[in-house]
Structure 1
Amino acid sequence: MHRKSCPEEYPITLIVNGYEVAVFQLTNQDLEDWAYGYLFSEGLIEHRNDIQSLKVDSDFGAIRVVLESEMDAEKMLTKKKHYTAGCGRGVTFFSMTDVKNFTKVQSKKTYKLSYLLKMRAEFAKNSPLYLETGGMHGACIVNESGDMVIREDIGRHNAVDKVIGHAVRQGLNPKNLILLTTGRVSYEMLSKAAKFGFSMIGSRTAATKQAIQLAKYLNIELVGYLRGKMAIVYTSKGRVIDDVTDQTGTQPNLRVLP
């Protein structure tokens, strides 16, 4: 396949109530969604109305946010930062211990494996930046009607922040939403999904041991290697129904880890 261009990334400074949080490497698209998603994921806002104003300042490579309430910036900025792995390096203020205090998911909704694979395939076909460059990550939320919202970025965690930001801005309920991602699910990716309340997370690739442990603890179903007619279910919450296993029984498509 011939790619027409290379992926791009830009240093963007996030400034909240006049305080510089950090400089992030981001794809210059859907930055408002990213800011809402990042601030929500880090616990700085709980609702869309917690932001008084948000301005993307392209000339200075900055996103300037004013919150409705005074942020304890000194407390936040002196908290230990955890730098994320992979492309489009990011930063989170949540440790694994912090994430374990998140609310556990209670959903009992189930999904057929064929449906998850279908949604993953549709997601791949509707990711224009990846199709253009071959070097982008994507994240996607799927509602109970099968409608999709897709966001792309150089960083896998940034893409997840973007779809969460969209959901926060639209006031979406996580109860019946699926989160799909192209990237590896590490603990900080799991924490973002857990903070919003997703009960089902699917990835085209793997999950880390720490992410699997957190998913089990928080009652989140975590599925990896969603591709073709296969998947690995890392958790055992009973939300994935295998309806595509090889009829011969010799090559199971669904692998459930203990």
Structure 2
Amino acid sequence: MARIDDISDYLIAPDPQSARLTRAVTGTDQNGQPMDLRVVEERPLTIYLNAQEIVTAMTIGDYPEYLALGFLRNQGMLRKGEVIKGVDYDEELEVVVVRTDGQTTYEDKLKKKTRTSGCAVGTVFGDMMEGLENVTLPATQVRTSDLYTLAAKINRTPSLYLEAGAIHGTILCQGNRPLVYMEDVGRHNAVDKIAGWMLSENVHPHDKILYTTGRLTSEMVIKTALMGIPVLASRSGFTAWGVEIAGQIGLTLIGRMKGQRFVCLAGETRLIRDADPTQVADEPRKMGRKGSST
């Protein structure tokens, strides 16, 4: 699929040519011939909330302020109505300090960690389901024509994934327009950057779609719901718990979006099927086990 040159729809687009995000390395191919390529960088980022150290995350190093804000928000450590007095990033120390008008008392929460299935070993502090009981998602309708348009635009956008691989993308969308495209070694980091940008810009979530290149796991469903976004879509597959939670909380969940095909796992009644799939450019099916197509 050809890449697109016009990324003017995006408020934030990937920057695959940034020298800071990749490093040149030399290897040998299957024939023993030398080859040069670029690989994604990983950097530690330590996040503080006021005077308390919260976590050190491995990240590609872009948008550290958004990552810190989004991580703290999605962990329930930034309460609704809490005043953020400042976000300070020290590039040399690789530290972000988020300062609020309240005191930080999360010692008990930090003792309970859940390692998630996210790449780069995502970590959730406290109860993974904490806060979902208070979530009410709007019954936002989704046009299948918008889904097809978004998938085509996103899959053709120049990105670190296309440049170097080994990375996940998450895109905040509205209607058929992709707004903010974040990438990172872990899809949880990419989602947190989106959450941090939305918090910083005071963006309303109820008419948005979150598109991810990664799997639709319980972690992804929970984070999307806690952000107030009613629709989550992906090229990839899904887990049973992710599907179950989506159905319980009223999240529209759409997976395996490739060419003409997709599977709606939850929220079928909120889909407006206004596009003829046969008029959409398809992608070749891959052969799975025992010769079955996937």
TM-score class, shorter-chain normalisation, is 0.7 to 0.9
* Deviation at residue 54 of structure 1 after TM alignment: 1.4
Larger RCO, structures 1/2 (Cα 8 Å, 6+ apart):
1
Deviates more, 1:167-176 or 1:234-243: 234-243
TM superposition score normalised by structure 1: 0.86
Cα distance change on mapping 1:77 and 1:58 into 2, 3 Å = same
SS state at 2:171 partner: strand
TM superposition score normalised by structure 2: 0.76
Quote the Cα distance in structure 2 between the aligned partners of 1:190 and 1:70.
Answer: 30
CA deviation profile, 1:195-242 (whole Å, cap 9, x unmatched)? 111111101101211111111111000000112111011113422233
**1:103 corresponds to which residue?**
135
* Deviation at residue 12 of structure 1 after TM alignment: 1.4
Is 1:218 equivalent to 2:249 in the alignment? Answer: yes
Structure 2: where are the runs of 5+ without partners?
2-34, 280-294
* Deviation at residue 90 of structure 1 after TM alignment: 2.1
Quote the Cα distance in structure 2 between the aligned partners of 1:133 and 1:74.
Answer: 39
Amino acid at match of 2:120: G
Structure 1: where are the runs of 5+ without partners?
248-258
Aligned length, in residue pairs: 245
Quote the Cα distance in structure 1 between the aligned partners of 2:105 and 2:136.
Answer: 27
CA deviation profile, 1:138-163 (whole Å, cap 9, x unmatched)? 11111247252111111111101111
Is 1:74 equivalent to 2:104 in the alignment? Answer: no
Is 1:142 equivalent to 2:142 in the alignment? Answer: no
CA deviation profile, 1:67-121 (whole Å, cap 9, x unmatched)? 221121323323x1111224222211253442542413132x3222232121022
Aligned-residue CA RMSD in angstroms?
2.3
Quote the Cα distance in structure 2 between the aligned partners of 1:27 and 1:127.
Answer: 17
Higher radius of gyration, 1 or 2 = 2
* 1:1-258 pair list within 5 angstroms: 4-46=37-79, 50-78=83-111, 80-98=112-130, 100-107=132-139, 109-144=140-175, 146-242=177-273, 243-246=275-278
* Deviation at residue 127 of structure 1 after TM alignment: 4.6
Quote the Cα distance in structure 2 between the aligned partners of 1:193 and 1:75.
Answer: 25
Amino acid at match of 1:166: W
**Identical-pair percentage:** 28
Are 2:110 and 2:126, in contact at CA under 8 Å, matched by a contact in 1? no
Quote the Cα distance in structure 2 between the aligned partners of 1:199 and 1:125.
Answer: 25
Cα distance change on mapping 1:188 and 1:125 into 2, 3 Å = same
Quote the Cα distance in structure 1 between the aligned partners of 2:141 and 2:37.
Answer: 40
